[in-house]
Amino acid sequence: MKKHSVFRVFLAPLIALSWTASPTYAANGYPTVAIADYVLGCMISNGRSREVLERCSCSIDVISSIIPYDRYVTAETFHRMAQLSGEKGVLFHQTAPARNSTAEMRRAQAEADMRCF
């Protein structure tokens, strides 16, 4: 068996598996998929142009420089769950942790809007 055949048969699948088994993270600690999700939502809200792509990318970069990823996830969860109707959504927008998390996200978003838009 040739040397490159061993690589192709044994090592290449292991390398491919290791790339797909763990999420990819940007330098700021946010998973690439979270960044892409934010930018896509931002572009849907603000227009689909190259300029908006750059502004939305700038926006998530600013937010990620202000809020660590775990607190970003918490804020996004509170925001999404607060959209529930009736009593189900009350816990997600009237409690102190929800208000604090939402306020932190709003401050970061305001800073991102000032710098990028």
pLDDT digits (tens, 9 = 90+) for 46-105: 999 999 999 999 999 999 999 999 999 999 998 888 888 887 777 777 889 999 999 999
Q: Where are the domains of the chain?
A: 23-116
pLDDT of residue 20: 47
Q: Which two tokens stand for residue 88?
A: 């189900």
pLDDT class for 114, splitting at 50, 70, 90? Answer: very high
* Alpha-carbon span 100 to 92, nearest angstrom: 11
Which letter does DSSP use for residue 9 in this model? Answer: I
pLDDT of residue 50: 97
Which letter does DSSP use for residue 117 in this model? Answer: -
Give, in degrees to the nearest 5, the angle at Cα 44 between 86 and 28. Answer: 90
Q: Which of 20, 38, 29 is nearest to 79 (CA)?
A: 38
pLDDT of residue 12: 44
* Alpha-carbon span 109 to 72, nearest angstrom: 11
- Residue 1 CB-density burial (10 A; 0-12 exposed, 13-18 middle, 19+ buried): exposed
